[in-house]
Structure 1
């Protein structure tokens, strides 16, 4: 999922580019040890925002083709 091209928001709860630009500097840098990140922080935050807005359970998140 790294390097996802964001042309449009997928859900109303997804962050705008402007919102992401404001919080991106607050996200931690990758550590030297452990596995490399497979999912961008922006996608994780979008998932949490979707959960809060929709009220669905974590395991009920929609699955996107190609992910």
Structure 2
């Protein structure tokens, strides 16, 4: 969780470190043109899990998840 500690609030729907370790190897490491990604896949998955669990819409997603 070292890279996502800047998020001020954790949610019950957030992935555990163990869950992330299982799927992290499946995620591409670089973005287009071999640039580092601007958005971390773990945060995207956390946002989707939050939406599924809470039933809210994309526009109601808490700002803690970013843009």
- Give TM-score scaled by structure 1 length: 0.75
The equivalent residue for 2:25 is 25
CA RMSD, Structure 1 to Structure 2 (Å): 2.3
Q: How many pairs are equivalent?
A: 61
What stretches of structure 2 of length at least 5 have no aligned partner? none
- Give TM-score scaled by structure 2 length: 0.75
What stretches of structure 1 of length at least 5 have no aligned partner? none
> Greater helix share, 1 or 2?
2
Instruction: Say whether the 8 Å CA contact 2:20–2:42 is kept in structure 1.
Output: yes
